[in-house]
């Protein structure tokens, strides 16, 4: 960042076709300083720490689940004890088979029917995911069009920071599309789940939860994945840029890197979504209850009559709980878990924002359940269902994603290669401050401005590892490019294997059931066996007395 801030003589190539002017490299000084806060050597260790934290979190949740299951006497409770859904019984009442557990006949769904319904459901899921990708493509097109417009804007501030304006407006539009599509997704998920005709209520909830997670996860993270791994990767080079529909030039990364765009995208989406969720969880029931009280007043009921109402009637006037119970609460926490782990290398503030949000939301949820909602109907469950498997999948995806973010999106690997292979202290050992001197100049290639045909002369710089125009192979990739590429691939492989090995080792070390709980369960099992032994012994002794046989205290 120091070299960027002092590069007042380095001219960067225009970043758009018509309205962009030549800029000095030091004009991106602020972006470079902000990027350095989370694009440094500590990023790797922080990503490893978060991957380990996710594993420890899930392992200790398994221990907590075992304690809760024991305290609520659900150790031996099986899903087979669940009743069939009325919709399932009505649909398949004509087809019956004997339940292998109970030995009683019950409605049965034939396999061909189940498979055909499942295929229709999967097709619907893929269609909705393709709709999400279409929305992301529309936002990308907007960014390409807005880039040219903001670069020629009348206001000096917007014209100077046109990249920030493009990213900021693109994020806001993307967030509005996300929230709009979420409403559609919930209705589609209901429709597809009912089409499958699940056998029990837990099967219906698991199927619905998986669809809602897939829809919202892709909806929230598709634009983030685009910025992290595709933005600026296929833009081309000066004089030979790739264009969308042969009209709009593809967007490039900022001179200080793409990580600042990724951080902005994640920060805005995470903060706005948390604010919106808190409003919908508390503000919406408050407004509904206020409206219902207002309607009661219009019907002629006075405040005196309202005060004299019995408590159960006051409770009935509150808002009913969602039909799918705690589904929204689980979904919100699982998506938040993804935000705090998947791209934590690019946005280290995500865990802090999640912590602050949860501290506030705990009290908001308490107030909502006690004062705004009717008392929910209780239901037995031995675990959190499919959500645990989803959390484990997010933990695995987080390791892979952070490895690619550090290797591809950040400048950690190019700096590492420069310090060891091309820096001023290549043969003198690795010293961070001295060995990176000249890195910025090494990471910028040279382009002849006269080739643009825009009236410019001289040379400009752009982010890439290509040969200069005066070389024998102008604008071809240099050896340093291939060294950086090989180092990136090697880092991804080493990082993933190392972190997965640590995660597996920690998961092996932490038992799923606490030792004291295990001892209590074994003690109970022993006492039950003793009681059965004593009861059987007493029964046999009574039989011997009745038959006139000799009485003995030992086992017969």
As given in the structure block, the two tokens for residue 342 are: 């998947």
Q: Are residues 521 and 394 part of one domain?
A: no
What's the length of the chain?
Answer: 556
Q: Are residues 500 and 535 part of one domain?
A: no
Q: Are residues 545 and 497 part of one domain?
A: no
Between helix 327-341 and helix 201-229 the angle, nearest 10°, is: 30
User: Is the residue at 146 inside a domain?
Assistant: yes
Strand partners, 249: 243
User: Is the residue at 397 inside a domain?
Assistant: yes
Report the C-alpha gap between 440 and 435 in whole angstroms. Answer: 12
Q: Are residues 43 and 74 part of one domain?
A: yes
Report the C-alpha gap between 19 and 24 in whole angstroms. Answer: 16
Q: Are residues 523 and 497 part of one domain?
A: no
Report the C-alpha gap between 260 and 232 in whole angstroms. Answer: 13
3-state secondary structure of 24: strand
User: Is the residue at 454 inside a domain?
Assistant: no
pLDDT at 54: 92
Q: Are residues 345 and 210 part of one domain?
A: yes
User: Is the residue at 435 inside a domain?
Assistant: no
Q: Are residues 206 and 184 part of one domain?
A: yes
Report the C-alpha gap between 127 and 21 in whole angstroms. Answer: 42
User: Is the residue at 132 inside a domain?
Assistant: yes
Q: Are residues 524 and 494 part of one domain?
A: no
User: Is the residue at 246 inside a domain?
Assistant: yes
Number of domains in the chain: 2
Quick: pLDDT tens for 199-237. Answer: 888 888 889 999 999 998 998 888 889 888 888 788 888
Side-by-side strand order, sheet with 459-463: 23-24, 11-12, 459-463, 444-448
Report the C-alpha gap between 59 and 512 in whole angstroms. Answer: 7
User: Is the residue at 347 inside a domain?
Assistant: yes
Positions of E strands within 319-450: 444-448
Residues 511/517, Cβ–Cβ less than 8 Å: no
pLDDT at 556: 44
Structural domain that includes position 161 = 39-299+310-409+478-509
pLDDT at 233: 82
Q: Tens digit of pLDDT per residue, the chain (556 long)?
A: 788 888 788 888 887 776 677 788 888 888 888 888 888 878 888 989 998 999 999 999 999 999 999 999 888 776 556 778 888 888 888 888 887 777 778 888 888 888 999 999 999 999 998 998 898 899 888 888 887 777 667 777 676 777 778 888 888 888 888 888 888 888 899 999 999 888 888 888 889 999 999 998 998 888 889 888 888 788 888 888 888 887 777 888 777 777 888 888 888 888 888 888 888 777 777 887 778 777 777 765 555 454 567 777 778 878 888 777 788 889 999 999 998 999 888 888 899 999 999 999 898 888 888 888 888 888 788 888 899 999 999 999 999 999 999 998 888 899 888 888 887 877 665 556 677 888 888 888 998 888 877 777 788 888 889 998 888 888 899 999 999 999 999 999 999 999 999 999 999 999 989 999 999 999 998 999 999 999 999 888 888 887 765 545 554 4
pLDDT at 433: 65
Q: Are residues 536 and 401 part of one domain?
A: no
Residues 431/425, Cβ–Cβ less than 8 Å: yes
pLDDT at 430: 56
Report the C-alpha gap between 261 and 39 in whole angstroms. Answer: 13
Quick: pLDDT tens for 370-420. Answer: 888 888 888 788 888 899 999 999 999 999 999 999 998 888 899 888 888
User: Is the residue at 334 inside a domain?
Assistant: yes
3-state percent breakdown (helix, strand, coil) of the chain, nearest 5 = 65, 5, 25
Report the C-alpha gap between 57 and 71 in whole angstroms. Answer: 21
Q: Are residues 264 and 291 part of one domain?
A: yes
Q: Give the global pTM.
A: 0.84
- List the one residue out of 408, 402, 409, 439 whose CA is nearest residue 421: 439
Q: Are residues 83 and 130 part of one domain?
A: yes
443-452 long-range Cβ contacts below 8 angstroms, 24+ apart: 443/411, 443/414, 443/418, 444/10, 444/25, 445/237, 445/475, 447/13, 447/237, 447/238, 447/239, 447/475, 449/13, 451/238, 451/239, 452/14, 452/238, 452/239
Residues 5/26, Cβ–Cβ less than 8 Å: yes
Give the C-alpha distances (Å, rounded to integers) separating 292 from 119, 372, 446, 538.
43, 12, 69, 66
Q: Which residues contact 22 (CB under 8 A, 6 or more apart)?
A: 11, 12, 13, 14, 456, 460
Q: For strand 236-237 and strand 105-107, is the pairing parallel, antiparallel, or unpaired?
A: unpaired
């Amino acid at each position: 960042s120091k070299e960027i801030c002092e590069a007042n003589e380095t001219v960067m190539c225009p970043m758009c076709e018509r309205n962009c002017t030549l800029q000095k490299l030091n004009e991106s000084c602020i972006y470079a300083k902000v990027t350095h806060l989370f694009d440094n050597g500590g990023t790797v260790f922080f990503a490893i720490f978060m991957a380990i934290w996710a594993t420890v979190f899930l392992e200790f949740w398994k221990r907590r689940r075992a304690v809760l299951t024991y305290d609520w006497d659900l150790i031996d409770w099986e899903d087979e004890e669940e009743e069939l859904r009325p919709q399932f019984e009505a649909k398949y009442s004509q087809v019956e088979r004997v339940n292998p557990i109970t030995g009683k006949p019950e409605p049965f769904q034939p396999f061909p029917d189940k498979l055909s319904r499942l295929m229709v459901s999967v097709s619907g899921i893929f269609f909705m995911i393709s709709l999400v990708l279409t929305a992301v493509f529309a936002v990308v097109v907007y960014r390409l069009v807005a880039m040219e417009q903001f670069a020629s804007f009348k206001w000096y501030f917007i014209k100077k920071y046109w990249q920030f304006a493009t990213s900021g407006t693109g994020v806001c539009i993307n967030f509005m599309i996300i929230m709009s599509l979420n409403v559609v997704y919930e209705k589609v998920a209901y429709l597809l789940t009912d089409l499958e005709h699940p056998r029990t209520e837990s099967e219906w909830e698991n199927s619905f939860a998986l669809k809602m997670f897939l829809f919202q996860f892709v909806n929230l993270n598709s634009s983030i994945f685009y910025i992290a791994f595709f933005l600026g990767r296929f833009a081309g080079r000066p004089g030979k840029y790739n264009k969308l529909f042969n009209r709009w030039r593809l967007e490039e990364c900022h001179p200080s890197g793409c990580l600042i765009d990724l951080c902005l995208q994640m920060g805005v989406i995470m903060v706005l979504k948390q604010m919106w969720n808190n409003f919908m969880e508390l503000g919406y029931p408050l407004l509904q209850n206020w409206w219902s009280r207002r309607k009661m007043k219009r019907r002629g009921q006075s405040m005196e009559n309202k005060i004299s109402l019995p408590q159960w009637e006051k409770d009935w006037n509150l808002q009913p709980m969602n039909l799918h119970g705690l589904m929204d609460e689980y979904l919100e926490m699982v998506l938040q878990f993804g935000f705090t782990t998947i791209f934590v290398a690019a946005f280290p503030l995500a865990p802090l924002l999640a912590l602050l949000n949860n501290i506030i939301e705990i009290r908001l949820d308490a107030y909502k359940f006690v004062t705004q909602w009717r008392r929910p109907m209780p239901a037995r469950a031995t675990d959190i269902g499919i959500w645990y498997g989803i959390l484990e999948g997010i933990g695995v995806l987080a390791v892979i994603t952070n490895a690619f973010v550090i290797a591809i999106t950040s400048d950690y690997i190019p700096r590492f290669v420069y310090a060891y292979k091309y820096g001023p202290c290549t043969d003198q050992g690795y010293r961070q401050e001295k060995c990176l001197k000249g890195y910025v100049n090494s990471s910028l290639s040279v382009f002849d401005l006269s080739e643009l045909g825009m009236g410019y002369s001289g040379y400009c710089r752009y982010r890439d590892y290509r040969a200069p125009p005066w070389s024998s192979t102008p604008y071809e990739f240099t050896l340093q490019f291939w060294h950086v590429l090989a180092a990136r691939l090697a880092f991804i492989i080493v990082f993933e294997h190392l972190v997965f090995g640590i995660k597996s080792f920690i998961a092996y070390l932490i038992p799923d059931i606490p030792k004291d709980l295990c001892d209590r369960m074994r003690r109970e099992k022993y006492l039950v066996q003793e009681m059965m032994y004593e009861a059987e012994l007493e029964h046999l002794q009574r039989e011997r007395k009745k038959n006139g046989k000799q009485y003995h205290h030992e086992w017969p």
